[in-house]
Amino acid sequence: MKLRSLLFVPADSESKLEKTRDSNADALIFDLEDAVATARKPLGRQLAASHLEKLQGQHRWKGFVRINPLSTPEALLDLAAVVRSGLDGIVLPKADGVADVIRLGAYLDALETRAGLELGSVRILVVATETAKAMLNLDGYATQLPRLVAMTWGAEDLSAALGAATNRECDGAYSHVYLMARSLCLVAAASADVAAVDTLYTDYRDTEGLEQDCIDSRRRGFVGRIAIHPDQIEIINRCYTPSSEDVAFARTVVDAFAAAPDAGTVGINGKMFDRPHLVQAFKTLAASESAY
């Protein structure tokens, strides 16, 4: 599943839902959690479910719904309403660890059966760092979780859980604990063999800042990013797609090892490259192919 850009859309806004039909985002996340007031959640469930069902097969993006945390009664109401034809995935917020992903998977088994959907067809993207318990349980993701397709992290809810006044230092950079959350999410996603999706860039008007942050994020290993405004999608898609230069060099590495199948290292333009570089080259080529 291609997940470079994932745009949040409030599920209770009919006008915003209608604007998503031709979105260039790889995935849309119809939000039933923070973006929707409690009194409007029933409306949000109805609109999200009908929108996904109505547009099934008429768009290029994958359709996800962010439900409310499993610790709330709203979560099961969300799932009961939206698990139907047209839904590609569920975004699970405030998970305390892999046990919550497994629990959600069990709910989805039952609801897919009720809806007549293929078992396992609804995938899961977990927000893996929003609670203090979650930060201590990230090692649990190093296991087989067939529904899990991606992991992302969040700083806002974590700072609230920690009682922090802000998640930023005086210079605007993330404080250490949030840098640790980002790094641990990246490692946990790799251990689970799923996509690592970076968190949102809050100032949607700062296009230069977003671009540089995406470049840095991809360099670290993230393959995509959350978007909070449609104007962010083009930049995110471009930054997380390997450039023609990246692809050409990856092919050079692959060809060099193919020409010396018994070699542990190869020389390219006066530099030595070993097997980890070959692994990265294959990932670059795979990312390039999945981007189109």
pLDDT tens-digit series, residues 125-159: 999 999 999 999 999 999 889 999 999 999 999 99
Domain identity same for 17 and 108:
yes
- Tell me, what CATH number does 62's domain have? 3.20.20.60
State pTM to two decimals. 0.90
Looking at the structure of the chain, the number of domains it has is 2
| CA atoms of 281 and 68, how far apart (whole Å) | 39
Domain identity same for 136 and 178:
yes
pLDDT at 290: 60
Domain identity same for 266 and 171:
no
Checking if the pLDDT of 263 tops 80, the result is no
CB 150 within 8 A of CB 178: no
Domain final position from 205, 222, 239: 239
Domain identity same for 225 and 259:
no
Length of the chain: 292
- Percent of the chain exceeding pLDDT 70 equals 98
pLDDT at 272: 83
Q: Give the three-class secondary structure for 289.
A: helix
Mean pLDDT, the chain, rounded, equals 93
As given in the structure block, the two tokens for residue 16 are 């915003």
pLDDT at 287: 77
Domain identity same for 272 and 180:
no
The beta-strand segments (E) located in 26-95 are 27-31, 62-66, 89-92
Which residue type is seen at 185? C
pLDDT at 77: 98
Which residue type is seen at 242? P
**181 or 267, which is more confident?**
181
pLDDT digits (tens, 9 = 90+) for 55-113: 988 889 999 999 999 999 999 999 999 999 999 999 999 999 999 999 999 999 999 99
* Unique residue bearing structure tokens 């008429």: 58
Domain identity same for 132 and 252:
no
Checking if the pLDDT of 167 tops 70, the result is yes
Q: Is 60 left (phi over 0), alpha (psi -120 to 50) or beta?
A: alpha
Domain identity same for 107 and 201:
yes
Neighbouring C-beta atoms of residue 61, cutoff 10 Å: 20
Domain final position from 199, 220, 239: 239
Distance in Å from the first CA to the final CA of the chain? 12
Give Cα 135 to chain centroid, integer Å: 18
pLDDT at 5: 98
Checking if the pLDDT of 279 tops 70, the result is yes
Band of the pLDDT at 291, cuts 50, 70, 90? low
Domain that holds residue 102: 5-239
Domain identity same for 270 and 126:
no
Domain identity same for 43 and 66:
yes
Domain final position from 199, 221, 239: 239
Domain identity same for 78 and 203:
yes
Domain identity same for 235 and 249:
no
In terms of average pLDDT, the best of 118-122, 257-261, 262-266 is 118-122
Neighbouring C-beta atoms of residue 164, cutoff 10 Å: 14
CB 48 within 8 A of CB 80: no
Checking if the pLDDT of 251 tops 60, the result is yes
CB 136 within 8 A of CB 95: no
As given in the structure block, the two tokens for residue 276 are 């980890």
Domain identity same for 232 and 249:
no
| CA atoms of 28 and 3, how far apart (whole Å) | 10
| CA atoms of 162 and 197, how far apart (whole Å) | 23
Checking if the pLDDT of 292 tops 60, the result is no
